Structure 1
């Protein structure tokens, strides 16, 4: 059974027509299911747990990347749950674009085609999951990889722990099903007018389990482009934890 979760922002009247078209197309394609129009008062974890208890096996985020990530984050105890997305409203839509999912009504046809792929999840501190990336901007930190070695940048850098794609460096895209994180350490480029942000190649390595410890006092990281967490933290890969509905034009 499909369960569609509509982002609270889609209650705004400027999105009513688009939402109505999406609902009609869902019905026409025979992929109708339960609809939940989320509000700021909803406890998303409770709502998703209740949906799964009632038999839902495919959870669809109708909204932006943040909603998809929030739904995925509460699925620690539900391996192999199928996730999909209808990008609608206000972005970002970087994750959906990387998965090859078109925006709005066209995404319904992608859902109906039901092209499924196994997808790794990242788990933070053995609790919440994430889909794409953890990013740390302009901080000094020690990065322990698989309890075997440490990486310690010599100066403040932009460090990305990546399962899929970086919101700050979207040219770097990784397979989300290889059982590994990619770690990219982007040094601060010289401030010369002819240098661009991507002019200096990052240091790159891979690992399954990573612990990050700050070296210059209290520091934070950004998860999937919007959620702020404090360092230190430990994250590890849960291989093939999700199943995603993807499009033919996926980028990885």
Structure 2
């Protein structure tokens, strides 16, 4: 069984003490490749550095999360564009809108999102826009309107860490976008509705992610004492997903891996590479 974690925040300082061990545990758990999330001016270059240190196994995104939208200046845009010139950077983002916390003013969020959508257009390959790694929380109407403004120009898009409603899900599916499912699925307090919704996602548009170190699956036993999520726990998420979808573990794993490899245009996995560096 090979798994691909499409979103892990491996540049987070909670991994500084044991990042190599975290990667080794991920490999032992079947995680063959991993996308390191870049979500700010500070962490996007670090995500690229990690990917370059583990060629063929780790890849990166580069973007500015809506929480950090206030930092999206002309200089920041130039920095993001420079990062996207590297082949290891396989998607634009994490970018989007977050009206739940409003850590950046909403006009700043919309400006930063629009500029990153333009990056995806400008870095097209063979006329297809660069993949988008998207965030949306409590901003669905504005999110959809902004995406519609780029209709026909952007390429593949994944709504990362989907936690929304049935209506939101079908809006995304109607636009042929992909869906990222995390350990939120395992949260009986907030994610119970996802257990039914995941049955409606076509297998070729469903991908899995940990969003580590966040969103530790609550059904994982035993829970780590530090409550830190890590990529090795992706195996637990896919087990829960398979059960909810009425599939075998192998079916769910193969489908999500094939979808991720096609979406991010990844090469075949390189055995053993995560154990070094």
Normalising by the smaller structure, the TM-score range is under 0.3
Which has the larger Rg? 1
Larger % of helix: which? 2
User: Which TM-score applies when normalising by structure 1?
Assistant: 0.28
